[in-house]
Amino acid sequence: MQTMITLDEILNDYIGRKRDALLPVLWDVQTAFGHIDAEAVHQISHTLRVPEADIYGVISFYTLFHDEPTGETIIRVCTDPSCGLAGADDMLNGLCSRLGIHHGETTVDGQFTIEHSACLGLCEHAPAALISWRGIGEQSIAPVSDTDVLLNGTDNAQYESIIGGDAPVLLAGVDTYAAQRLKNYGDYVALRKAINDSSPENVIAEVEESGLIGRGGAAFPTGMKWRFTRQATGQPHYVVCNADESEPGTFKDRVLMEARPHLLLEGIALCGYAIGAETGYLFIRGEYPEAMQRMQAAIDEALEVGLLGDNIMGSDFSFHIEIRRGAGAYICGEETALFEAIEGKRGFPRIKPPYPTTHGLFGKPTTINNVETLCAVPGIITNGAAWFKAFGTEKSTGPKLVSVSGHVNRPGVYEISPGITLRELLNDYCEGVTGELQAVLMGGAAGTFLTPDEIDVRLTFEDLRKAGSTFGSGAIVVFNTETDLRDVLVRLGRFFRHESCGKCFPCQLGTQRQVEILERLDAPLPDDRSRLEDIGWTMTESSLCGLGQTAASAVLSAIEKWPELFEKG
Amino acid sequence: MPEADDNMITFTLDGEEITVPEGTTLLEAARMIGKEIPVICYHDATTANGLCRVCVVDVNGGRLLQPACIAECQHDSIVETRNERVERNRRTILEMLNSAVDLSQGEAIQEMMMDYGVDESRFPDAKRREHDIHDDNPFYVRDYNQCVLCWRCVQVCAEDAQYTFALTLGERGYDTHVATAFDIGMMDSPCVFCGQCIGVCPTGALKPKTEWGLEQGMSPDEIRQMTRIPRRRKENTE
C-alpha cells in the first residue's frame, strides 16, 4: 500500500528550487511520512535555502501539515453547519468511541488519527470527510454512510455532481460522474478567436462591456481588473486562479473543476493573453483532491495538443499553467494571503494598497480571479458581450452559480439568471424546503441571515445589497424550524476562531472572545449581547482583511433579526 | 504651513487643515501637530505591519477605520483621530487584549487603558493565553504570558535587523505565539544573543536575565551564577 520513498529522493526533485517550492515539498514529505519532522525541516532548509524557523512556522500554520507523528490514516470529519445538520457530530463521536480515542488523537497502534475539519466543500452530500492515506494521498468521502467507510475507504467515486437551473452555460454538457474530456469539450474556440482575430485590448474591452463582476465574493468588475494589470509596469505579469474555495456552504468551484476543467483552463489562458502573462497559477485548496487530479489531467491533455504551452495554435503566445495545492487555511482565499502561500510563507494577508494589479504574486502585476469568474470568460469571447448581458439584470449580468445546502429537498449547484427570487430558487429548483423554513444564511459563514419574510428578494447583486444581504461566495444554507440557530452560530464562531490567521489583533482576539460568548448562549451572562456587538463591530471596522471584517457578519445579523436568541431563557 | 504643490497633501485633521509631504502617514502627520495617536505594534525601527489596529482613525466616515501607522494622508480627506466609533474600537481591542495577556509591565499600554476607560473585567471567563516561562539561556528570559504579538522581536531577528532567523510564529489565530523551530531552546537555535529583540519588546515578555533575577529577589551572587555559562564556554574553546 505504501510507496517507500526516501527523504533524499523527494529532495532530489527540488535541487535548485527556491522558497516558492516550499508548500509542494512539504506536501511530498507529509504524504510520504505522515508528518514533517525536525530532520526533514533541516534538509529542506538546506535544499531551498529557507531558515528552519520559517519552515516550522509554515508547517504549524496549515492544518493539513503535521509536525508530530500521525496515524497511518488521518480521518477528518467536517462539522460545519451543513454537515452538522446531517449528523456529522454523531459520526465523529461514533468513530472516536469505536477507536477509543478523542478527536485530535492517534490510536495506540498508530493506525488512525481522527480530526474534525472545517468545511470540505461537499455540503450537498453532507456529511463529508477527508481521508489521508500514508504514502498515497487524500480521498474525499461523501456522504459518509457509516464509520466503516471511514476506516476502510472505498474504491468508488462516492458522489456525483448534483446540478440544476434554467440556463446551463457554465454547467453545459456536464457528465455528473466524470470530468469533461477534451474530445467532448472541443477546441478552445474562444482562445483561438482571441489569438487569431482579436488583440488583448479588444478581449479586455469585451469583458468590460459584458459587465462581468467577480464571483468570489468581493464583486469587483473583472474587465477593469484586467485592464489595470495589463497597464501596470513591471514584468512578468501573472494570472492566478483562486480555487481556494473554503467558505462554508460553497462548492460551486469544486463542481466546475471536477466537471468542466477545460472551460476553466481556457478562461485562465484568455486572461493570460489579455493581460500579457505567460504563467498562470491555479491554487486549489488541499481539501479538493478530486478537483486537483482532474485539473492536472486536463492540463496534460491540453499540453499534448498544443492548446496550452509554447506558441499556442502556432502563434507567438505561450502560456503555462501550474497547479499549486493549499494545505488547509481558509484565509488563503484572501487574494494576498494566497500569494503568500504560493511564495512559501504563512498565509498572512498583506496590507492593501498596493493592490495585486500592480504588486501581486512575487511583487509583480497580477490578475487574481475566482474559478467561476474565469469560467464565464470563454462564453463572452465566443458569443459576445451582448449575449452575456441577455442573462440577468443590468447590474448583475450573466449566468451565476449558487451552492444550495441544508434543509432543501435537492441540494446542489444551480445555475441561475440573476433576477429570480430566492423563493423561486428554493421552491422550483431545489424542490422545496424540508420542513418549515426558519432562516437562510446567504454568502456562507461570512454572510448574513434572511428570515422567511425576506425570501422574495431577487437574487441579484444590487437587490441583495439593498436587503442588507449578499451573494458573497454564492453559498445559500437553508435551516428549517427544527434547527437550533444558537447551535448554527456556535459552529460559525468555531469556524472563524479556527481560521483566523492571527495577524491583526481585532480578529485574532475577537474570533476567540466571540465564540466563548456564543458557546454560553443557552445561559448567557448579562450584557453578553453588548459584548458581542462591541466585538463584532470592532472586527468589522478595524480588521486588516476581509476575513476579520466579516467574521461577525452572521452574528450581527442574527442579533438584529432574532434578539431573543441572545437573552436568557 | 508649506505651500501646496504636486508633492504636498492638504487635508483636515481633527478640524485643523494641514499640509504634509506626499507619503506621510496619518500617525506622522498627527505627530507634526503635536497629537499622539495610541499604537502598540508600531516602532520607528521596524517595518510597520498594521497589526494592533489601536491606531485606527476615522477617514471621511468610511465603512472601515484606517490604521494611522500605515495609511497615508489623502488630499481633501477629513480625518478624526478620536470620536465615538474610534473610541469603541480602541477600547474593545484593549479590553480583549487585557483579557488574554498580562499587560501589567507594558507602561504605555497601561496608560492607554486608563485613557480609554477600559473595564478590566469586561470579558469574564475568557481563556487567557498561558505559556511556560522560557528560561533556557544565560542572557534573557522569555515570558510569553506578557506577549502581545507585536511581531517586533521576530522582525528584528530577521530582515529588519539581524538576519539570524531564530524566531518565527507558531500556530495561528488566538493560539499564535512566538517560537523557535520545533520550540528548541535558544542555545540550540541560531540565536546570536544580540539583544535587539529585548530592546524592541513593548511589554515585559523579553527581559535581560539580570533584571529578571533582581525582580525574582535573587542576590547578586545568585545572578552571577546564573549568567556564568558563557564565560565557561569561552574558556572551553580556547
- For residue range A152-180, what is the model confidence (pLDDT) as tens digits? 887 766 688 899 998 789 999 888 888 99
**Whole-Å CA distances, B206 to A278, A317, A511:** 48, 56, 27
Neighbouring residues of A260: CB distance < 8 A, sequence distance ≥ 6: A170, A171, A173, A174, A179, A180, A185, A375
A536 touches chain B (CB under 8 A): no
Chain A residue numbers touching B153 (CB-CB < 8 A): none
Kindly state whether residue B185 falls inside one of the protein's structural domains.
yes
Within an 8 Å CB–CB cutoff, is residue A66 touching chain B? Answer: no
A460-473 core/surface letters (b: 16 or more CB in 10 A; e: else): bbebbeebebbbbb
Grid coordinates representing A39? Answer: 530532520
Pairing of strands A412-416, A400-406: antiparallel
Which residues in chain B are closer than 8 Å to A513, comparing Cβ atoms?
A: 96, 99, 123, 126
CATH assignment of the domain containing B148: 3.30.70.20
- Look at residue A386 in the predicted model and tell me its pLDDT: 98
Residue B229: pLDDT band with limits 50, 70, 90: low
Q: Which of B51, B149, B168 sits opposite A56 (nearest CB)?
A: B168
Identify which of B176, B189, B190 has the shortest CB distance to residue A508. Answer: B176
Cα A185–A342–A506 angle (5° rounding)?
Answer: 115
* Average pLDDT estimate for A279-290: 97
Q: Do A508 and B171 touch (CB under 8 A)?
A: no
pLDDT value at residue A176: 83
- Which residues in chain A have their CB less than 8 angstroms from residue B148's CB? 505
Mean pLDDT of B216-237: 73
pLDDT tens digits, residue range A287-304?
999 999 999 999 999 999
| pLDDT-derived band at A3, boundaries 50, 70, 90 | low
* Interface contact flag, A541 B85, Cβ < 8 Å: yes
pLDDT tops 70 at residue A400? yes
Closest-CA distance, B233 to chain A, in angstroms, reads 25
In a domain, B195, yes or no: yes
pLDDT at residue B227 is higher than 90: no
From the candidates B74, B129, B174, which should be mutated to test the interface with A, based on the most A CB atoms within 10 A?
A: B174
Q: Which pLDDT score, from 0 to 100, does residue A1 have?
A: 47
**B167 three-class SS:** coil
Is the same domain home to B69 and B146? no
Residue B190 sits at the chain A interface (C-beta within 8 Å): yes
A158 vs A140: CA distance, rounded Å:
8
Residue A167 confidence (pLDDT): 72
The alpha-carbon gap from A542 to the nearest alpha carbon of chain B, in Å, equals: 6
Structural domains in chain A? 7-61 (no CATH), 73-152 (3.40.30.10), 163-389 (3.40.50.11540), 400-480 (3.10.20.600), 485-566 (1.20.1440.230)
**Which residue carries 521596524 as its cell?**
B46
CB contact under 8 A, A502 and B122: no
Q: Of B25, B98, B96, which Cα lies nearest the Cα of B57? A: B25
Residue A332: strand pairing partners: none
Digit-coded pLDDT (tens) for B156-181: 999 999 999 999 999 999 999 999 99
Average pLDDT over residues B184-195: 97
Q: Using N-to-C axis directions, what is the helix angle for A485-499 and A505-518, rounded to 10°?
A: 150
Model confidence at B218: pLDDT above 80: yes
Contact criterion met (CB < 8 Å) for A56 and B166 = no
Judge whether B63 is closer than 8 Å to chain A, CB to CB. yes
Classify residue B78 as left (phi > 0), alpha (psi -120 to 50) or beta.
Answer: beta
User: Residues 6 or more apart from A127 whose CB is under 8 A from it?
Assistant: A77, A78, A83, A86, A87, A88, A91, A142, A143, A144
Contacts of residue A498 in chain B, CB cutoff 8 Å?
Answer: 173
Q: How far out from the chain centre does Cα A509 lie?
A: 24
Tell me if residue A478 falls in helix, strand or coil: strand
Strand pairing category for A129-133 and A112-117: unpaired
The region of weakest confidence among A176-180, A544-548, B234-238 is B234-238
Residue B145 within a domain: yes
Q: Does B3 map to a domain?
A: no
The answer on pLDDT for A410 being more than 70 is yes
Residue B4 pLDDT greater than 50, yes or no: no
Structurally, how many domains does chain B consist of?
2
Q: Is B235 on the interface with A (CB under 8 A)?
A: no
pLDDT in tens, A12-31: 999 999 999 999 999 999 99
CA-CA distances (angstroms) from residue A341 to A19, A496, A543? 10, 19, 20
- pLDDT band for B5, please (50, 70, 90 cuts): low
A409 pLDDT more than 90: yes
pLDDT value of residue B237: 47
B122 shares contact with chain A (CB less than 8 Å):
yes
Kindly report the average pLDDT of chain B as a whole number. 93
Residue B106 lies in a domain: no
User: Is B49 inside any structural domain?
Assistant: yes
Contact B68, B14 (CB under 8 A): no
pLDDT of residue A109: 96
Q: Which domain holds residue B205?
A: 140-226
Q: Does residue B114 lie within any of the structural domains?
A: no
Of B97, B173, B182, the CB nearest to A498: B173
Distance between CA A283 and CA A371 in Å, rounded? 10
A108: CB partners within 8 A, 6+ apart = none
Check: CB of residue A203 under 8 Å from CB of residue A270: yes
Task: Kindly state the average pLDDT of the residues A231-257.
Answer: 97
**Average pLDDT score, chain A:** 96
* Chain B residue with Cα closest to A53: B181
Q: What is the pLDDT of residue A209?
A: 98
**Predicted ipTM of the assembly:** 0.96
B155 domain residue, yes or no: yes
**Which pLDDT score, from 0 to 100, does residue A153 have?**
82
Distance from CA of B94 to the nearest CA of A (A): 9
Q: Please say which residue of B44, B61, B85 terminates a domain.
A: B85
Contact (CB<8Å) B181/A38: yes
Is B210 exposed, middle or buried (CB count within 10 Å of its CB: 0-12, 13-18, 19+)? Answer: middle
